[in-house]
Amino acid sequence: MTPWKNRMTDLARPASYLELIRGNTPFRCLWYGNVISLFGDWFNTIALYSLILNLSGSEFALGAVFITKMLPWAFVSPIAGVIVDRFDRRKVMIVSDILRAVVVLGFLFIDDPSEVYLIYVLTAAQVIVGSVFHPAQSASIPNIVKKENLVTANTIMAATWSVLLALGAAAGGFAAEWLGLKAVFLLDSASYLFSAFFIYRAVIPQTTSPRKRGSVIRTAAREFMDGLRHLKRNPAIARMATTKSVWAIGGGGLVFLIALMGEAIYPESIAVSIGVLFAVRGLGTGIGPILIRAWVKNERRWPLVLGVCMSLTGAGYLVAGSIGFTFAIAIPILFAHAAGGINWVFSTVMLQQRVVDQFRGRIFATEWLLVMGMESLSILAASLVLEMGLLSLSETVSLFGIISIVSGLVWLFFVVPAEKKYFLSRNIPKS
């Protein structure tokens, strides 16, 4: 190879993680904002779970908080996609951060059981305002990062979510215990303002979509229906778009039950124990995809891995529900969410590969609606089982673990054979 070709190869070489962060100022500013706001989000989340348990003592009330964090986001996600494509994404993120900083301050005034309803109102407002932030952030990355660095950039963002879940949840639990819930809400509000500051410093070029006739809501509804029709015409895409929602049949309820298991472990310091278990969840979601990437490189095996991981998630919680509620359950929870993280990453990559660019936004909006809807139903079912006294907490954890195992087995029986035919029709090699 000539020296000139060597230089061209070096130029096309993907940057390392540190090289991208150090050498790309807009991406660095976007990442800084993401780190700070995510840290604040997990402080807020643990404090919120502690607040609702302290004021109500109701499993159903806690489940309703989980659902309030999901359903509004699911329903407005198609609208958020239209906003992100029509308007300046940098400004959208800044406005979202500032509004969330204001909304979070409302939690400071909730200190009586008669005011519990305000938790749901403010949570829904926070979620709706924030629903545009993450799609705007994801859509901005290709505008500030070279094509050869997209995988690196997205890996950094995904790893950041897992690390911040682990660190933020644990730190948020201790902060709520030592500083008090009001201090945690103040810190969360401040985190949004710092995030807005860093994003303000970023230069993000963008080509906005032409302003189509009709309202944003009508446009979102039309594009959502286009996405559903595209799924119907393309079963291979539909299978990947429903992977996460199949996992959520049991997995949604299990994530909710983590908070109640934390309360059962250490009732005197609810925030600390919940924070520790959510931190373990975050650690698992980060470890799983890293390990599987080295072990299973052949894409033809990924559908099999997806089904196995659904069942392994359930197996982990089946163990957790059987051994009694001590911090020892952190081990099976870590295992369960390592499998869940693999399921999330593999299904996302396969969906990205199968959907053409012109439909990608609509398909992912549809996928998000499906998974959030299914998680909400799963959480509602788990909370009602406990609220009505039908099963104990350990029995409910075991039940939803079994549901996850069965979901994985159904996937293996029905979806994996269809995937084998798909790969054969595409002449994709086995190795």
* Mean pLDDT in residue range 293-300: 75
How many Cβ atoms from other residues are within 10 Å of residue 327's Cβ? 13
User: Which domains, from first to last, does the chain contain?
Assistant: 21-200 (1.20.1250.20), 221-431 (1.20.1250.20)
DSSP state of 326: S
* Mean pLDDT in residue range 81-102: 87
Which residue's structure tokens are 């005011």? 115
**Number of residues that make up the chain:** 431
Strand, coil or helix: 427: coil
Cα–Cα nearest to 330, from 348, 317, 349, 345: 317
Contacts of 180 (CB under 8 A, 6+ apart): none
Is residue 63 within 8 Å of residue 119, measured between CB atoms? no
Is residue 62 within 8 Å of residue 383, measured between CB atoms? yes
Dist CA 252 CA 248 (whole Å):
5
What local confidence, expressed as pLDDT, does residue 172 receive? 81
Dist CA 177 CA 173 (whole Å):
6
Cα–Cα nearest to 351, from 366, 373, 372: 366
What local confidence, expressed as pLDDT, does residue 211 receive? 55
* Mean pLDDT in residue range 376-394: 95
- Would the pLDDT of 293 be above 80? no
What local confidence, expressed as pLDDT, does residue 10 receive? 44
Cα–Cα nearest to 51, from 206, 270, 221: 270
Contacts of 195 (CB under 8 A, 6+ apart): 32, 33, 34, 36, 37, 40, 97
- Would the pLDDT of 9 be above 70? no
How many Cβ atoms from other residues are within 10 Å of residue 230's Cβ? 19
Dist CA 372 CA 174 (whole Å):
29
Which residue's structure tokens are 């908070």? 259
Say what the pTM is.
Answer: 0.80
**pLDDT tens, position by position, 314-367:** 999 999 999 989 999 999 999 999 999 888 888 887 887 787 756 666 677 788
**pLDDT tens, position by position, 102-155:** 999 999 999 888 899 999 999 999 999 988 887 788 777 777 888 777 767 777
- Would the pLDDT of 294 be above 80? no
Please report which confidence band the pLDDT of residue 5 belongs to, taking 50, 70 and 90 as the band edges: very low
Counting residues of the chain whose pLDDT is more than 90, the rounded percentage is 37
Burial classification of residue 113, based on how many CB atoms lie within 10 Å of its CB (0-12 exposed, 13-18 middle, 19 or more buried)? exposed
Poorest-pLDDT segment among 78-82, 171-175, 196-200, 425-429: 425-429
Is residue 398 within 8 Å of residue 268, measured between CB atoms? no
Dist CA 22 CA 207 (whole Å):
26
Is residue 333 within 8 Å of residue 284, measured between CB atoms? yes
**pLDDT tens, position by position, 236-269:** 999 998 999 999 999 999 999 999 999 899 887 8
Cα–Cα nearest to 287, from 261, 320, 327, 316: 316
